[in-house]
Chain A
Amino acid sequence: NAGVMQNPRHLVRRRGQEARLRCSPVKGHSHVYWYRQLPEEGLKFMVYLQKENIIDESGMPKERFSAEFPKEGPSILRIQQVVRGDSAAYFCASSPDLEGEKLFFGSGTQLSVL
């Protein structure tokens, strides 16, 4: 069984470009979470999505950041007009239908903004 798949593993962008991070959850999981991690820091919640719905985006900046989890295909975290401060590891996690279940994390995407 494939786990959570994130791609790309590493993404380099110049300031002002767009970054698109993809996440395919564990097969059958309908809950997806995005977290951001800076070096030697914890996991900062960004957004929680279910299929075609954003449930909680309270951790995501209002500008430049957006997330979606379409009916078909992976979840996408999109960062427009990236700045150096966006450089971080972005982890996606998924869980089964029931709330309260453990999270399965992907290997993360390391975003570097030059």
Chain B
Amino acid sequence: GQQVMQIPQYQHVQEGEDFTTYCNSSTTLSNIQWYKQRPGGHPVFLIQLVKSGEVKKQKRLTFQFGEAKKNSSLHITATQTTDVGTYFCAGRNQGGKLIFGQGTELSVKP
């Protein structure tokens, strides 16, 4: 079945350093979404990408959707302690089901 792989599983950075997480799907996606889950919390929607090659920015966060619509990335510039949490990508296949990656847990040392 369809798989969505996300790397790395963990990332520890010093405050101010950049951070990137990558997401790859075994099949072409109709769209991809990104969510953030704070420790002890629930996933919260960040953004959705639909078009091939699309790039979207939210302040220090940059999201990309690959040309083949099979991969995506989230890049955070100059991390802050408030960025701590687990970032999930979620790919929607042609049938409409949303499949989540395993997530990347980000810790930021002040």
Contact = CB atoms under 8 A, between A and B. Distances in A.
Given A100-B92, A104-B45, A42 B103 contact: yes
A106 interface: yes
A42 B104 CA distance: 9
Interface string A85-114: 000000101000001101111111000000
B66 interface: no
A78 B31 CA distance: 31
Nearest to A101: B48
Interface stretch (A19-27, A33-41, A61-69): A33-41
A102 B100 contact: no
Given A100-B30, A100-B31, A42 B88 contact: yes
Contact of B97 (A43, A48, A102): A48
* Interface range on chain B (Cβ under 8 Å from partner): 20 to 34
Given A40-B105, A99-B96, A100-B31, A107 B88 contact: no
Given A43-B88, A100-B92, A91 B43 contact: yes
A102 B88 contact: no
A96 to B, nearest CB: 12
Interface in B84-110: 88, 90, 92, 95-103, 105
Interface of A: 33, 35, 40-45, 48, 55-56, 58, 91, 93, 99-100, 102-108
9 contacts: A35-B100, A43-B90, A91-B42, A91-B43, A102-B48, A103-B90, A105-B42, A107-B42, A108-B42
Interface of B: 1, 6, 30-31, 33, 35, 41-45, 48, 50, 88, 90, 92, 95-103, 105
